[in-house]
Chains A and B, each alone.
Chain A
């Protein structure tokens, strides 16, 4: 409770620290993030509730093969390498506030910007929803018999705190709370690994229990179909994760390019402190809390903590610290998503039409955050018993990855033009959605031959964008 209240206090201090009432100060903190703030805000934002509860849930479902989760998180850093440096330099030169600002600078096409903004807003809303649902699941897992009520109260309470500090201090509040949340997350995970080892014994013992119960299923190295699925995840998470709009805004907010590169190099070692620990905890849960199926597997970690809490007072105290770390992971990601959606609506849609001054735009953004959070909280409560976390995440990445030609290829290929990129994006999104939601006989578990719909649609999208640009006459773009 103390930790949650401290977040509101940080929001208030951030409000007092504002330099001006401009959108740039509210959404990018004057583009002045130093290395420590940038590392911790990237860390706290990238390692969301999904990466803790989702990775442990999938480790519970799939066993050791989900060790590849470490590689997925690493793939995002590799994705940044494809475009972050160049995009940062352009953002400084042209004062980009939202990702669509880059698109307008590069293509001068309002319909492309609108389509891209809509896709990003939908994906971020999906992401935000997943965080809220994870918050609920965490409470549900800890509360035992009262799980359903705990889910509703957990979602409402945390969303309320988040929207208060987020709207008070803008990105400055979000980045400062991200720093606290990043540190809490890191120390909580270190506590977790020590605690499960102390409480349940070594990993060999876990292996023995799993083997006795399930044979080799969870201890087998992966077969070829799973390798294809891995490759597909690498592509969608590596590219889609790097193209998160709130991640792009952090690229804009970096103080300079050296700060950005230094922060990313630290990020390349972060999967070991987070995804790997979540995976090990998922394996412990598989051994000691059998029988969770479907979306219930996402509660594996919370169930494991409850088991520790019930057996010792000291364990109970540590569980509270670890639980605070998970809340930190959830809230730091959700608040960033909330602010970015608000910035895109405000700057790309409202300010374009209203032409109002910055103060009224900022106020609109704040009101919008309240409305948005209320709607998604309601949705999170209604969707309580549906879709596992990984299933919800998959759809978002399928769409985000379609932005590769517009954001990544366009930075390197000067002949890319607006119209083909627009149609490539449109067809890419349509193909992804059709493959994801129409029950074709050749689609198994939402994937085609192990590949995500988004990965199948991306080459078609790229072909339309590049061949269309070649056919429409080669007019080179000058990056100034």
Chain B
């Protein structure tokens, strides 16, 4: 599989924007209760895990053709 690694890492970096609901300040402080905050924390971590594993999977696929 041919893979443009620079494009892949650019897209991966863009994927970090998915963390905004968790890290972005407008949502955090005053009116977000604990259960929702915990849910967002864990789901954003899991989102990052899946994204990272996906990038690594694509890198493995790319290596097999080299």
The interface of chain A, by Cβ under 8 A from chain B, is 64, 67-68, 70-71, 74, 77-78, 81, 85, 207, 219-224, 227, 257-258, 261-262, 264-265, 268-269, 271-272, 276
Contact = CB atoms under 8 A, between A and B. Distances in A.
* Chain B facing A: main interface SS: helix
Nearest to B37: A221
Contact of A67 (B12, B38, B55): B38
Nearest 4 pairs of A and B residues by beta carbon: A265-B56, A221-B37, A265-B53, A268-B52
Given A64-B34, A271-B45, A257 B55 contact: no
24 contacts: A64-B34, A70-B42, A71-B45, A71-B48, A78-B52, A81-B12, A81-B52, A81-B55, A207-B34, A221-B34, A221-B37, A224-B29, A227-B25, A257-B63, A261-B57, A261-B63, A265-B52, A265-B53, A265-B57, A268-B48, A271-B45, A272-B45, A272-B46, A272-B49
Interface of B: 9, 12, 23, 25, 28-29, 32, 34, 37-38, 41-42, 44-46, 48-49, 52-53, 55-57, 59-60, 63-64
B41 A67 contact: yes
A70 B52 contact: no
Contacts of A222: 28
B56 A262 contact: yes
B25 A261 contact: no
Contacts of A271: 45, 49
Given A70-B42, A71-B41, A272-B46, 7 more contacts: A67-B42, A70-B41, A77-B52, A81-B55, A220-B34, A221-B32, A272-B45
A276 B44 CA distance: 14
A64 B38 contact: yes
B1 to A, nearest CB: 13
A401 to B, nearest CB: 19
Contacts of A81: 9, 12, 52, 55-56
Contact of A268 (B25, B38, B49, B63): B49
A262 B45 contact: no
Contact of A264 (B28, B45, B56): B56
B38 A74 contact: no
B28 to A, nearest CB: 5
Contacts of B38: 64, 67
A258 B60 contact: yes
A99 B44 CA distance: 33
Contacts of A78: 48, 52
Contact of B28 (A64, A85, A221): A221
Nearest to B41: A67
A261 B60 CA distance: 6
Contacts of A219: 34
A262 B23 CA distance: 29
